[in-house]
Structure 1
Amino acid sequence: MASATTGPAGTAPRAAADVWLPIPADEIDGLPESLTYHHWDGDTDFPADPADCAFYVVPYMKGPEVSVRPLRHMTGVRVVQTLTAGVDHVTPALPDLPRGARLCNARGVHDASTAELALALTLASLRRIPEFVRAQQDGEWRQAVHPALADRTVLIVGYGSIGSAIEDRLVPFEVEEVLRVARTSRTTARGGVHALTELPRLLPCADVVILCTPLTADTRGLAGEDFLARMKDGAVLVNVARGGVVDTKALLAELESGRLRAALDVTDPEPLPPGHPLWQAPGALISPHVGGATTALRPRAKRLLRRQLNLWAAGDPVGNVVAVAD
C-alpha cells in the first residue's frame, strides 16, 4: 500500500493523516497521537472533507448504501476497515478506490458472538424452543421428546475463525462428529478440513449444517435445491453467514414439505419484509441478523482498531487484508 506522500506500505511513519472512526477516538485507549481522528457513524453530514481521509472505518450495521457513501469522495484513502467479518457490502466500491488501497475485514471480532448464536439457534431448533414459547403464551403444558445435540454429526461450512469458534462450543455438548468444510482442503490441530467440492458426499452425513462462509461469487446460492436435497431427512440448516448463501425458494420448498428445519440469522431478502412466507414457514426460526450484535463487539472492535492504526501509523503493513484496489 502506498501512502499519500510516500512509497509502498511500511516505508515511513504517517503523520497528521485523517482517520474516520464510528467509535469516538477518546473511547479507544492507545491510539497513535500522530493521527487526526474524526467521528462518523453514518450521519447525513460528514465530519470533515472525505478527500482528506486516509483511513476509513466503515460504520457498523448501517447498510451498504451508508457504508460506501463517502468512499466516492475519498480520493486519498489508503485503508478501508470494516467492523464485519464479511465485506460484501463494501466490495462493490472497490473498483473506485485509489490504486493500492487496502480493504480489511474484522476477522476475530465476531467469533465469540456469532459462535454463541450459532449454538443457540442450533439448540433452539433441535429442542423446539419456539414451540415451548408458543405453548407458554397459550398457557398449555405440551410435553414431547425432541432431538438432542449430543450424539449428532455437525457439518460446518466455512471453517475460518468463526467456524473454529463454533466447534469450540460444540465439543462440550458431546456431538458425535464435526465435519469441517472450507474453500480448499487443509489440516488443522483438530483434524482435516474438506474442500467445498466434497459437500455432495458430506451433506447426507450431517444432522446439523451450519453455514458461516463469506458471501462470494462461489458461495452465492450455495445452499440451493441440490444442496438441500442431499441433506438427510429431519436435518437442521443454520445460517449465520449471509442470506444470499441460501436459495430462499428452494429452502421454503423443503420447509413446507416438513423434511428440513432451519434456524436463520440472515435471510434473502433482508430485512425480511412483512408477509414473506419465511416468517410462517413450518420449522423455521428467524433472528434479525444479530450474530455479532452483542456486548462482546465493542471491546473487540476497539482492540482491532488500536492494533491496525498503530501498525499503519508506524508505516507497517496492516492485517486482515482481503482485497487491494487495482
Structure 2
Amino acid sequence: MSPRRPVTALAMWPGIEAQLFTAASWEALDRVADVVDRRPLDLATAPADLLGSVEVLVGGWGCAPLDGAVLDRLPRLGLLAYAAGSVRSTVTDALWARGVAVSSAAAANAVPVAEMTFAAVVMVAKDVFRLRDRYRAERGRSFVAGVGPAGDLGTRGLRVGVVGASRIGRLVLERLRTLDAEVAVSDPYLPAEEATSMGATPMDLDDLCAWAEVVTLHAPALDSTHHLLDARRLARMRDGAWLVNTARGSLVDTAALEAECGTGRLCAFIDTPDPEPLPPTSPLWDLPNVVLTPHIAGSEGREVARMGDLAVAEVARWAAGQPLDHPVVAADMDRIA
C-alpha cells in the first residue's frame, strides 16, 4: 500500500520559504504530501475550510504559537515539522494535549553553530583579531608577535572547556578532536564514561572555568542556566583566557563580563550578547580584547536550506508511518534550548 499523502501547509514569516526550500526539496515534498500553498499561511486569518484539512504543518521562524485557539482551527493536525531550531516559541501545552507529533530541525541548525565555534576557538588561539589590529596599525613595518589565551599562540596543548554536551556541544567536541588540544566538558546530564568516549575530561563547572584557556558555551537558556557564568565563575577564569558564546546571552552576566574584559584580564568572542543587541554605551563594542558578531553562528544564507531538507525528510517519514528521526517530546522542554 502506498503511503498516504497528508495535506500540508507552511507557517512562517513570508519569504522564509524561499530560503528553506530549494527546487529539489520542493520536489521531495511534493512526492509525499499535498501542499495546499507554497506560500506561508496566516493561521489566524486563513479560511477555516482550508485549515480544517491540514494534517501537517511545516513551521519555521515566525510561526505563531500553536495554542488552543489556533489548534481549534487545525482539527486534523498530526505533525508539526519545525524547519528551525528551538520550538519554544511555537509549541504549547495544548499541542501536547492533542497528541500532535513534533519534529525540530535543531540538529541541522547545530552544524553551522559548531563550525563557527570551532573556527572561533582556532582564531582566538592564534590571537588573530588583536594581531590583525596591530598589523594594520603597523602597516607591516614590523613583525607583531602576540600571545594567545593565557600563554603562547596556537592550539597545540590548548586547554578548551566545553560547557554543555548539547547537540551543538557534541559537534564542537567532535571537531575539537581534530586538534592537538586538551578538552574538558561540563554537563550535569552527561555520564563520565560518555564524556571520555568523546575525547573530553568530565569536570565540574567551577573547576573547568579555572582550568581552561578557552571556555565555550553550549547550554540551553533556562531559568537554571541564567547567568551560569556569573561574576564568581568569571573571576575563576585564568588571566588572558577567552570566553566564546555562540549559545545564548543570558548564560553570561554581562555586567560582570564588561568588568573583567574592561581590565583586560579576560577576552571574549560573543555572537549572542545580553541584551541583544548590546546598548551603544556598552564598553564591549570598543575593547580590543572583545570580538562581537551579529548573531550569525546559526543558519544563514545557503545554510538555511539544510533545515528545510530535514523538515521535508521528517514529513516523508511521518507520511510513511515511520518514526521521526528528530522528535521533540514534552519531557524535553525542561532542558532543551
1:119 pairs with 2:118 = yes
Q: Which amino acid aligns with 1:215?
A: A
User: Shift in Å at residue 200 of structure 1?
Assistant: 1.5
1:68 pairs with 2:58 = no
2: distance between equivalents of 1:145 and 1:315? Answer: 58
Q: Which amino acid aligns with 2:326?
A: N
SS class of match (1:180): strand
Deviations 1:54-111 (Å, cap 9, x if unpaired)? 4333334xxxxx3336765243344334334434444xx5135362234432243134
1:181 pairs with 2:186 = yes
SS class of match (1:108): helix
TM-score, normalised on structure 2? 0.76
Pairing partner for 1:316 from 304, 322, 326: 322
User: 2:102, 2:327 within 8 Å by CA — same for their partners in 1?
Assistant: yes
User: 2:160, 2:213 within 8 Å by CA — same for their partners in 1?
Assistant: yes
Corresponding residue for residue 212 of structure 1: 218
Q: Which amino acid aligns with 1:82?
A: Y
1: distance between equivalents of 2:317 and 2:306? Answer: 17
Question: Aligned in 2, Cα 1:95/1:264: closer, same or farther, shift over 3 Å?
Answer: same
User: 1:42, 1:67 within 8 Å by CA — same for their partners in 2?
Assistant: no
SS class of match (2:28): coil
Name the structure with the higher helix share: 2
How many equivalent residue pairs? 305
1:82 pairs with 2:78 = no
Deviations 1:286-309 (Å, cap 9, x if unpaired)? 111111234662452233123210
User: 2:82, 2:105 within 8 Å by CA — same for their partners in 1?
Assistant: yes
Deviations 1:213-244 (Å, cap 9, x if unpaired)? 22222222212122212222211110111112
1: distance between equivalents of 2:59 and 2:234? Answer: 35
Question: Aligned in 2, Cα 1:206/1:301: closer, same or farther, shift over 3 Å?
Answer: same
**Which stretch has the larger CA shift, 98-107 or 278-287?**
98-107
Alignment of 1:254-273 (within 5 A): 254-273=260-279
Pairing partner for 1:224 from 192, 216, 230: 230
User: Shift in Å at residue 153 of structure 1?
Assistant: 1.0
1: distance between equivalents of 2:131 and 2:146? Answer: 12
| Percent identity between the two aligned chains | 26
Corresponding residue for residue 144 of structure 1: 145
Alignment of 1:1-326 (within 5 A): 15-20=5-10, 22=17, 23-24=20-21, 26-28=23-25, 29-31=27-29, 32-40=31-39, 51-52=51-52, 53-60=54-61, 66-68=62-64, 73-75=70-72, 76=74, 77-90=77-90, 93-97=91-95, 99=97, 100-135=99-134, 138=137, 140-141=139-140, 143-147=144-148, 148-175=154-181, 177-186=182-191, 187-188=193-194, 189-191=197-199, 194=202, 198-294=204-300, 297-324=303-330
TM-score, normalised on structure 1? 0.79
Q: Name the Cα RMSD after superposition.
A: 3.3
2: distance between equivalents of 1:121 and 1:318? Answer: 33
User: 1:185, 1:193 within 8 Å by CA — same for their partners in 2?
Assistant: no
1: distance between equivalents of 2:233 and 2:65? Answer: 36
Deviations 1:266-322 (Å, cap 9, x if unpaired)? 111123343433312452111111112346624522331232101221233423233
1: distance between equivalents of 2:258 and 2:113? Answer: 24
**Which stretch has the larger CA shift, 298-307 or 252-261?**
298-307
**Which stretch has the larger CA shift, 151-160 or 102-111?**
102-111
Structure 2: any 5+ residue segments left out of the alignment? 12-16, 149-153
Q: Which amino acid aligns with 1:123?
A: V
User: Shift in Å at residue 46 of structure 1?
Assistant: 6.8
SS class of match (1:308): helix
